[in-house]
């Protein structure tokens, strides 16, 4: 479960088959369910097939490897700009993950003494940077709440977003419940008060429609290893034109080496140090795959069908408690639940040991969300459905929970 096992050879079969030998894999691969290698290994094969391991360090010299890396990275920027509706590809900046992206923009936008509004739905990658700014720089941080199903309270949010608010930071979808947030509505609230809006799109990027221009989004942060189908170690942020994000990290850039501080050109201002060129190549391949399937909406439709099939099945099991608003027309393909009063870690371990089903138990790095749901001690078992999961796997998960609930 969770989209961890993929069959990527469908979109690059011939080139990847040859490259599998380079990374020490045969096909089919007996170490994985259904003979399918793990996504990360296939991405390594994709890179080997397409680039021959000749990527150098972009912006550092004019060697063939450096130029190949620069072209690969620029190409990925352009694809992400199209996917996210960002008008300028050079305003797409790469980071190792969305946590680094959120730290970069929060620290690059918020100033000492500012007022920030966020929500209880947020991940610690938002909460902790804001807590630090509150403790060290006198930043005021307010949190809009949610209802019993974890749906954002928009009325409370609007009351909190008053003139003088510097920025509103909001998730596009909860990583605990899958509940979606109307980010265009939040952006309108923020702009009406003269505030910026930062969107944490870690969960839905690649599986939900995002158009920065049409929705009025100032900054969107994303990770590569979830819906964008890239490898771990990739992520970034997209910034609308005219939005100033001060450099946070400083270091080598390959250009303006005699400048005392980080150059302010885009994207250099937010990209200190060597970029993960090979990882970005894998991310670029993931973006190609999404486009080949018909785009994010097509991916989302399949994932939602799996989640809805699962939801229908588990609702018939006595003792299952569900968390989330499942009547939302658009939401992430997440179903979180508990089995009676059993600790979520015990259920998750039983699912893996007994059926080979991978789930995420515990607090999911979202303490305020769990506090709102009343699951601080028990946690929840999160099922995350990916594009390569099947109806058969969904049915196996339902049967497993039925056995565990007896």
Averaged pLDDT for residues 154-162: 98
In order of 34, 199, 208, 221, 286, the CA distances from 202 in angstroms are: 28, 9, 11, 7, 15
Q: Which of 114, 94, 113 is nearest to 104 (CA)?
A: 94
pTM of full prediction above 0.85: yes
Q: Does position 9 have pLDDT exceeding 50, yes or no? A: no
Q: What is the pLDDT of residue 213?
A: 97
Q: What is the mean pLDDT of the chain?
A: 89
Task: Tell me what pLDDT residue 54 has.
Answer: 72
CB 324 within 8 A of CB 333: no
Cis peptide bond prior to 115, omega within 30° of 0: no
d(CA 272, CA 250): 5
Provide the percentage of residues in the chain whose pLDDT is more than 70: 86
Name the more confident of 387 and 58: 387
Give 2's pLDDT tier (boundaries 50, 70, 90).
very low
Query: Given a cut of 80, is residue 260 above it in pLDDT?
Result: yes
The 3-state DSSP class for residue 127 equals helix
> Would you state the pLDDT for residue 62?
75
pLDDT digits (tens, 9 = 90+) for 72-126: 999 999 999 999 999 999 999 999 999 999 999 999 999 999 999 999 999 999 9
Which range has the worst mean pLDDT, 59-68, 164-173, 175-184?
59-68
* Region of 34 on the Ramachandran plot (φ > 0 left; ψ -120 to 50 alpha; else beta): left
b/e map of 28-62 (b: 16 or more CB within 10 Å)? ebeeeeeebbbbbbbbbbbbbbbbeeebbbbbbee
CA distance 4 to 332: 16
What confidence score (pLDDT) does residue 38 get?
A: 46
Q: What pLDDT, on a 0 to 100 scale, did the predictor assign at position 195?
A: 98
Q: Which residue has the higher pLDDT, 78 or 36?
A: 78
Which residues have a Cβ under 8 Å from the Cβ of 258 and sit 6 or more positions away? none
Q: What is the arithmetic mean of pLDDT over 301-310?
A: 97
Residue range 351-378: mean pLDDT, rounded: 97
CA distances to 179, 326, 352, 392, 397 from 348, rounded to whole Å, are 21, 22, 6, 19, 11
What are the structural domains of the chain? 13-53 (no CATH), 64-275 (3.40.640.10), 296-405 (3.90.1150.10)
d(CA 139, CA 132): 9
Per DSSP, what are the bridge partners of residue 237? Answer: 93, 221
Alpha-carbon gap, residue 299 to 305, rounded angstroms: 10
Question: What is the rounded CA–CA span in Å between residue 186 and residue 168?
Answer: 8
Cis peptide before 308 (omega within 30 of 0): no
Split at pLDDT 50, 70, 90, the class of 59 is: low
Q: How far is CA 19 from CA 45, 76, 136, 225, 279, in A?
A: 5, 21, 50, 21, 16
Model confidence at 1: pLDDT above 50: no
Q: Confidence band (pLDDT; 50, 70, 90) for 375?
A: very high
% of the chain residues with pLDDT over 90: 81
Q: Is the pLDDT of residue 47 over 80?
A: no
């Amino acid at each position: 479960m969770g989209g961890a096992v993929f069959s990527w050879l469908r979109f690059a079969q011939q080139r990847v088959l040859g490259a599998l030998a380079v990374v020490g894999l045969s096909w089919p691969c007996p170490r994985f369910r259904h003979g399918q290698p793990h996504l990360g290994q296939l991405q390594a094969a994709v890179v080997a097939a397409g680039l021959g391991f000749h990527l150098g360090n972009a912006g550092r010299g004019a060697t063939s490897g450096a130029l190949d890396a620069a072209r690969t990275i620029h190409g990925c920027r352009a694809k992400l700009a199209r996917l996210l509706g960002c008008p300028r590809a050079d305003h797409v900046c790469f980071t190792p993950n969305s946590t680094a992206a959120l730290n970069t923009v929060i620290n690059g936008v918020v100033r000492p003494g500012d007022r920030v509004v966020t929500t209880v739905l947020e991940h610690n990658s938002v909460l902790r940077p804001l807590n630090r700014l509150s403790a060290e720089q006198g930043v005021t941080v307010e949190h809009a709440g949610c209802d019993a199903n974890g749906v954002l309270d928009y009325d409370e949010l609007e009351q909190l977003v008053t003139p003088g608010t510097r920025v509103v930071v909001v998730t596009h979808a909860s990583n605990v419940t899958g509940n979606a947030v109307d980010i265009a509505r939040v952006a309108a609230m923020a702009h009406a008060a003269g505030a910026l809006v930062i969107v944490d799109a870690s969960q839905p990027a690649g599986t939900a429609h995002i158009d920065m221009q049409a929705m009025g989004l100032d900054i969107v942060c994303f990770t590569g290893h979830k819906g964008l189908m890239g490898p771990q170690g990739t992520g970034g942020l997209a910034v609308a034109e005219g939005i100033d994000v001060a450099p946070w990290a400083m270091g080598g850039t390959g250009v303006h080496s005699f400048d005392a501080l980080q150059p302010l050109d885009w994207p250099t201002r937010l990209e200190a140090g060597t970029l993960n060129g090979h990882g970005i190549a894998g991310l670029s391949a993931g973006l190609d795959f999404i486009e080949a399937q018909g785009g994010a909406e097509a991916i989302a439709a399949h994932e939602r069908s799996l989640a809805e099939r699962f939801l229908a099945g588990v609702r018939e099991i006595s003792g299952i408690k569900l968390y989330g608003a499942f009547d939302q027309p658009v939401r992430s393909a997440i179903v979180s639940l508990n089995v009676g009063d059993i600790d979520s870690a015990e259920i998750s371990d039983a699912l893996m040991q007994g059926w080979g089903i991978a789930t995420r138990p515990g607090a999911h790095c979202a303490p305020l969300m769990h506090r709102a749901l009343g699951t601080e001690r028990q946690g929840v078992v999160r099922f995350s459905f990916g594009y390569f999961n099947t109806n058969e796997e969904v049915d196996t998960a339902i049967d497993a929970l039925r056995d565990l609930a007896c």
